[in-house]
Amino acid sequence: MKPWLRHLPPVLGVALLAGAIWVVQNEFRNLKLADIKAALAAIPATQLWVALGWTLLAYALLTIYDRLGTIYAGRAVSYGRAAFASFCAYTLAHNLGFAAVSGAAVRYRLYAHWGLTPLQIGKVVAFCSLTFLLGGLVLGGVVLLVEPQVLPVLGSRLPRWVMHGIAAALLATATAYIVLSGVIGRIRVFGHDVELPSWRMAIAQTMLATVDVAVTAAIFHALLPPAEGLTFIAFLGIYLASYTAGLAANLPGGIGVFDTAMLLGLSPFLEPPVIVGAVVVFRLYYYIVPLFLAGGLFAGNEVLLRGRGVMAGTAKLRGVQTIGRWSQPDFAVAAAVGAVALCGALLLALGAIDALGDYAWITPDWHLPAWLAPAWLAAVFNPAGSFVPSLIGAALVVLSIALTRRVTLAWGLTIALLLAGAAVTAARGAHLWIPALLLAAAALLAPFRRLFYRHARLLSGKLDASRATAPLLLVGSVLLLATYEPRLVLLAHESWWQLVLSPALPNVVRISVALSVLVGLIAIWGLVRPGRVIAHAWDGDGRERYRALGATPPARADGLIWGEAGRAAIPFRRVGRVVLGFGDPAGAVADRVSAIWRLRDLATQEGMTPAIWRAGPTLLAVYADIGLAALPLDDAGLPRADAEDAPAPHATSFLACAAERDLPDLLPLLPELAAQNAGPRAEPPA
């Protein structure tokens, strides 16, 4: 079942999003944007200020997570540094999700510069993740005990005693965590050894998380008018259920799923336009504004570090030599991906933005001067309305995923679609800020062509039937949409998803449009997804080819991964749930980075995680780019005695892995690997 289970998260996300669309269509088909506009205008200024205050308090509480986490890890940093790391990590993780910069990657970068070892950073990451879970357990248990009937769908269908039983289990789990922290201090969860904090720290951790989750819910609650029966405890149950559904969907910010769950849960108490208006402001306060602040702060920190010479040339972090400017590539890609995804979402929502056009604080209505918007441009693109831009937006969301895989074709297509989207939206005459953002995103992405070096599957081999399927499907979906042009032109001011939900069109047209768009997006992914990685057998031929690159073959390996150009390779071995590479790739310098990424892709294909044993200092930048932290090793390939608690002096060999997840399982195996591969390891030729 393992190959199938690794597809479960994305399948679950798609299923929840499809369910959200179905709920919106069936339960809220009479929802009008004019009513939402009125609901937004009706929110009193005092409620907006109260919600802003709760937002500031919520992010202040999140900073304490990291402060306690560094104390638990045994290497406390100042509150200012912990607050900076917490704000950047949580904000970027909330908005961009796993497709861009994760909270763990941000913490690794910042805390490593401040002197923490990979083991200590892994403890901070694990501590912060567990803390939030504890808050959900406690508040979820309280809600199910007091008002279990408020939960969407389940609350009215399950017997009260079942809900009380679930509540008791949730509260018992949180209590057991505190008790175990004081009694045994270490547990094994899902195959991982977890070192527990002291019982005092566990109590503080649980109380902090409980207050934090309640305060975050209070942001949304403050934006709602009073409603009979909607107590804060009842609202808290709806919020927790909606937030959990958003997390399960694996979508950035739980977009679509969280919002629909809130609509469904609050509909017995409030009118849908009021709920949607509160959702808009909540996302503005808790997601969008903090995202721009955190992105600017994080980017400024990177520039400041390079300006001080910390990242220029060959720098020393904690006494460990690393490649110069190691943080620039992954942050550049993350920033570009975030900008592209944001532009895609913007174009998808263009029809709704048009309806809110008189709200200058949401949609500033600037116009292009006549010399920038000639009549012929408007004549060509005006018929596109919002329909074509929304299609471009959906394609940009798919391409943003391919950009994280460093695919060259995705880079080119993304820039082309951003420019096309800018032309179409500029010709419409309103909202000058929209084409300006699209052009800014294209300008941000364009200089980083060298960071997108992987061939798409379509271009990585001969054009056979399987590779020709994607372009044929794309052409077919476009032609099918074109056949409905006479019907759709009357509703061109609406986005494609609004047409799918519109009762003004026949069901056959709505279903055809939905299927055409879905097939087109699948075809775009088929065009730009990277080619499947196939490992070369570790036989006599494989060993000799690797030796010909100037490297010493390991005593035992399961296969050999070659770079995109076939000029650099890295041997690997499957160790538990880890695909463990032996040393840096050997061969041509220009092909080493792609070999590392292909090792990572092989691990992903098999539902495993990558790691590198005896990595040298020159490629630590790339290992950090794929989410790995470097643990200093001694000459025998074993962890240095001072690696846990102190900086490693001039280390030249590292274990690169996801420290918070795989390090406890890899450490016991290193003596065996060191014995099998005794002797100094040759550095790959420059």
SS (H, E, C) 8-65: HHHHHHHHHHHHHHHHHHHHCCCCCHHHHHHHHHHCCHHHHHHHHHHHHHHHHHHHHH
Which helix (H) or strand (E) is 655 found in, with range? strand 653-657
| Mean predicted confidence (pLDDT) in 55-69 | 90
Residue bearing tokens 């570009």 = 336
| Mean predicted confidence (pLDDT) in 435-445 | 86
| Mean predicted confidence (pLDDT) in 448-466 | 70
Is residue 50 a contact partner of residue 43, using CB atoms and an 8 Å limit? no
Residue-level pLDDT at 585: 93
Cα-Cα-Cα-Cα torsion 491, 495, 496, 499, nearest 10 degrees, comes to: -50
Question: With 70 as the cut, is the pLDDT of residue 197 above it?
Answer: yes
Task: Give residue 232's pLDDT band: very low, low, confident or very high (50, 70, 90).
Answer: confident
Instruction: At 591, list the tokens.
Output: 């092909």
CA gyration radius, the chain: 27
Task: Give residue 12's pLDDT band: very low, low, confident or very high (50, 70, 90).
Answer: low
User: Using one digit for the tens of pLDDT, what is the confidence trace for 370-422?
Assistant: 544 444 444 444 445 667 888 888 888 888 878 877 788 889 999 999 998 88
**φ/ψ (deg, to 5) at 544:** -70, -40
Per the model's pLDDT, the better-predicted residue between 680 and 661 turns out to be: 661
Angle, helices 45-72/118-146, rounded to nearest 10 degrees? 130
Residue 634, CB-side half-sphere exposure with 13 Å CA sphere? 11
Which helix (H) or strand (E) is 629 found in, with range? strand 629-633
User: Using one digit for the tens of pLDDT, what is the confidence trace for 295-353?
Assistant: 667 666 655 555 444 333 333 333 333 333 333 445 556 667 777 877 887 787 776 55
Is residue 386 a contact partner of residue 429, using CB atoms and an 8 Å limit? no
Task: Give residue 444's pLDDT band: very low, low, confident or very high (50, 70, 90).
Answer: confident
Mean pLDDT over each residue of the chain, to the nearest integer: 74
Per the model's pLDDT, the better-predicted residue between 357 and 254 turns out to be: 254
User: Using one digit for the tens of pLDDT, what is the confidence trace for 80-107?
Assistant: 888 888 888 888 777 665 533 457 777 8
Question: With 90 as the cut, is the pLDDT of residue 163 above it?
Answer: no
Residue-level pLDDT at 321: 32
Is residue 77 a contact partner of residue 609, using CB atoms and an 8 Å limit? no
Question: With 60 as the cut, is the pLDDT of residue 3 above it?
Answer: no
Q: The dihedral of CA 61, 85, 257, 36: what is its sign?
A: positive
Residue-level pLDDT at 572: 94
Residue-wise DSSP of 637-650 = SSB-TTTTTS--TT
Terminus-to-terminus CA distance in the chain, angstroms? 43
Is residue 351 a contact partner of residue 456, using CB atoms and an 8 Å limit? no
Complete domains list, the chain, with CATH: 2-307 (no CATH), 328-528 (no CATH), 536-676 (3.40.630)
- Indicate the DSSP class of residue 407: B
pTM, 2 dp: 0.58
Residue-level pLDDT at 530: 75
User: Using one digit for the tens of pLDDT, what is the confidence trace for 605-649?
Assistant: 888 889 999 888 888 877 876 778 788 888 777 777 555 544 444
Q: Which residues contact 277 (CB under 8 A, 6 or more apart)?
A: 36, 39, 40, 42, 43, 223
Instruction: At 70, list the tokens.
Output: 């560094």
Task: Give residue 169's pLDDT band: very low, low, confident or very high (50, 70, 90).
Answer: confident
Share of the chain above pLDDT 90, in %: 8
Most confident of 5-14, 319-328, 441-450: 441-450
Smallest CA-to-CA distance from 397 within 9, 87, 14 is with 14
Least confidently predicted of 153-157, 163-167, 314-318, 539-543: 314-318
Residue-level pLDDT at 57: 93
Beta strands 315-317 and 586-587, pairing class? unpaired
Q: What angle is formed at CA 124 by the lines to CA 122 and CA 130, rounded to 5 degrees?
A: 100
User: Using one digit for the tens of pLDDT, what is the confidence trace for 470-505?
Assistant: 788 888 887 777 776 665 555 556 677 777 777 777
Question: With 60 as the cut, is the pLDDT of residue 127 above it?
Answer: yes
Task: Give residue 42's pLDDT band: very low, low, confident or very high (50, 70, 90).
Answer: confident
At residue 458, the 3 state secondary structure works out as helix
Residue 196, CB-side half-sphere exposure with 13 Å CA sphere? 21
| Mean predicted confidence (pLDDT) in 234-246 | 82
Q: Which residues contact 598 (CB under 8 A, 6 or more apart)?
A: 533, 561, 562, 563, 564
User: Using one digit for the tens of pLDDT, what is the confidence trace for 541-585?
Assistant: 889 999 998 888 888 899 999 987 788 999 999 988 899 999 899
Q: The dihedral of CA 560, 565, 568, 574: what is its sign?
A: negative
